[in-house]
Structure 1
Amino acid sequence: MAATSNYALITGGTVGIGYELANLFAQNGYHLILVARDQTELDQRAAEFRQKHGVEVVTLAKDLFQRQAPFEVYDEVKAKGLPVEVLVNNAGQGQYGEFVDTDINRELDIVQLNIGAYITLTKLYLKEMVARNSGKILMVSSIGGELPGPLQAVYHATKAFVSTFTEALQNEVKDTNITITKLLPGPTETDFFRKADMENAKMIKEGDLADAAKVAQDGYDALMAGKLEIISGFKNKAMVAASKVMPDSLVAEAMHQQAKPSDEGK
């Protein structure tokens, strides 16, 4: 069990992988700071985790599409005097479709959520962690960050940013007691594809989606073991390994075929 004064701050902590991660941290004695947009969902999760695990749960209803929101999260947590031992950057969204057709304003929001919020929260909390020489950060990226993603061009690019950003920070803190771990799931059974209008894609309709609880367990275990990276799932490990030796154009074409609507070409 973790010390009772330890808090884990989790963005997107009410659904999907974020919810499963919150459950694991609470199960292991961490108090929770959950950040999401929907206060009703936050209240439901807070009641659930308090009852199941007997931990404190602080909720912050914030829209991380807004540039100022991560700063507000940090200021409000600081004002409450809560020590954040673990930061989980998890909230993220995508958009499906040909880049020439997709909504630029939604894409700029996605860049702010998937990149801007990660940068801001990491900067603010890493400074504290370096000052006390302890802390853990879990960066929820995606195997999409290792692969070009036709029909999800912006999402994959944001995750490529998260991957190289994380690798650079890991090097910067390598001589400290701080752990920064990159979690790379593949397609997972969450609300992500509905929000991205991607439910009809071949990889979703015909693919084998991973269990969010299993992905979260992989990420939690890797973080606690001090690992730099975990690719969740054997198939995803194989796909990333294959992509390293194939020309990018072939990888992009293979991904394009997987991302197409499942009824195309039949």
Structure 2
Amino acid sequence: MASSGQFAIVTGASTGIGLELARCCADEGFDLLIAADEPEIERAAASLRADGAKVEAVQADLSTSEGVEKLYAAAKGRPVDALLANAGRGLGHAFLDQDLADIRRLINTNVMGTVELIHKVGNQMRSRNAGRILITGSIAGFTPGSFQAVYNASKSFLNSFSFALREELKDTKITVTCLMPGATETDFFRRADMMDTKVGTEKKDDAGDVARQGFQAMMDGESDVVTGMKNKLQTTIANVMPAETLAKQHRKMAEPGTAKD
């Protein structure tokens, strides 16, 4: 594939939506810097290189300022044309049964790490008055997430943050897009210890389809995209249904022991 001369950073790119977003960038000719907090990021990079992409990989824990700085430094000052902030962590089970260290790491990854990286790259983009930012939020951000309480709250933050940042940058040539998928076929639910739940075991959306829709929305400068008709319907209902009712419904999907036989 021919290089476009453009440069993209994709986080959470070792598997799932993040890896598929990196493929979309590569197909469009972007040079890539991809990151994740696990060694599999090197395997992902090798796969992308095999398809002809120019890729650098960084293993960095984006729940820490040191990890964010390590990733940013790896760009070596190159102007970032697109930042796809996809890194995220899930956590199932009842809030009071969760380990506080796991809760803190989720918040630091999903919220603080994302905000810190966007602040660094966003200021670089503002100095050039050019760039695209894609934030992976979720339709989970529309619903109080019983048995995923902290995760859903973190996605609510990202959804809101994305729209607010977009408005602040409306008079610039920097676009901000929020990708809001539903349950997607990735390692997310296994890693979140949710394979004994209904949502963990039911049929999910394809990660490649989700990524392509998100990437195209970013390239078109759209404000947001909810992937899948079922998910669009769920968000419409969530906007009019009482929060207490939504929390009760979420329990049926995410409470341990709700998995179908």
Asked if 2 retains the 8 angstrom alpha-carbon contact of 1:67 and 1:112, the reply is no
Q: Is it true that 1:131 corresponds to 2:127 in the alignment?
A: yes
Structure 1 residues 66-75 or 240-249, which shifts more?
66-75
2:41 corresponds in structure 1 to 42
Asked if 1 retains the 8 angstrom alpha-carbon contact of 2:130 and 2:174, the reply is yes
2:238 corresponds in structure 1 to 243
1:9 corresponds in structure 2 to 9
**Scaled by the length of structure 1, what TM-score is found?**
0.93
The CA distance in 2 between the partners of 1:116 and 1:107, in whole Å, is 13
The CA distance in 2 between the partners of 1:97 and 1:46, in whole Å, is 33
TM-fit CA distance, 1:67? 3.0
1:85 corresponds in structure 2 to 81
TM-fit CA distance, 1:257? 1.1
TM-fit CA distance, 1:24? 0.8
- How has the CA–CA distance of structure 1 residues 122 and 42 changed in structure 2, closer, same or farther, with 3 Å as cutoff? same
1:218 corresponds in structure 2 to 213
- How has the CA–CA distance of structure 1 residues 45 and 245 changed in structure 2, closer, same or farther, with 3 Å as cutoff? same
2:191 corresponds in structure 1 to 195
1:231 corresponds in structure 2 to 226
Partner amino acid, structure 2, of 1:88: L
TM-fit CA distance, 1:261? 3.3
Partner amino acid, structure 2, of 1:38: E
Partner amino acid, structure 1, of 2:232: K
Equivalent residue in structure 2 for 1:57, among 55, 58, 65: 55
- How has the CA–CA distance of structure 1 residues 264 and 32 changed in structure 2, closer, same or farther, with 3 Å as cutoff? closer
**Scaled by the length of structure 2, what TM-score is found?**
0.95
Partner amino acid, structure 1, of 2:211: A
Asked if 2 retains the 8 angstrom alpha-carbon contact of 1:12 and 1:36, the reply is yes
What is the CA deviation profile of residues 145-201 of structure 1, one whole-angstrom value per residue up to 9, with x for unaligned ones? 111100000000001110111111011000111110000000100011011000111
What is the CA deviation profile of residues 188-221 of structure 1, one whole-angstrom value per residue up to 9, with x for unaligned ones? 000110110001111222x320000010011011
SS at match of 1:29: coil
5+ residue gaps, structure 1: none
The CA distance in 2 between the partners of 1:104 and 1:171, in whole Å, is 34
Partner amino acid, structure 2, of 1:73: L
Partner amino acid, structure 2, of 1:47: A
TM-fit CA distance, 1:47? 2.1
TM-fit CA distance, 1:43? 2.4
- How has the CA–CA distance of structure 1 residues 109 and 43 changed in structure 2, closer, same or farther, with 3 Å as cutoff? same
Counterparts of 1:144-159 in structure 2, within 5 Å, are 144-159=140-155
5+ residue gaps, structure 2: none
The CA distance in 2 between the partners of 1:173 and 1:204, in whole Å, is 37
The CA distance in 2 between the partners of 1:213 and 1:147, in whole Å, is 25
Structure 1 residues 1-10 or 243-252, which shifts more?
1-10
SS at match of 1:38: coil
1:74 corresponds in structure 2 to 72
Asked if 2 retains the 8 angstrom alpha-carbon contact of 1:71 and 1:120, the reply is no
Asked if 1 retains the 8 angstrom alpha-carbon contact of 2:197 and 2:255, the reply is yes
Asked if 1 retains the 8 angstrom alpha-carbon contact of 2:7 and 2:79, the reply is yes
Equivalent residue in structure 1 for 2:182, among 172, 186, 207: 186
- How has the CA–CA distance of structure 1 residues 264 and 25 changed in structure 2, closer, same or farther, with 3 Å as cutoff? closer
TM-fit CA distance, 1:265? 11
The CA distance in 2 between the partners of 1:11 and 1:4, in whole Å, is 20
What is the CA deviation profile of residues 60-79 of structure 1, one whole-angstrom value per residue up to 9, with x for unaligned ones? 111122232112211232xx
- How has the CA–CA distance of structure 1 residues 263 and 44 changed in structure 2, closer, same or farther, with 3 Å as cutoff? closer
TM-fit CA distance, 1:2? 8.3
The CA distance in 2 between the partners of 1:208 and 1:84, in whole Å, is 36
Partner amino acid, structure 2, of 1:152: Q
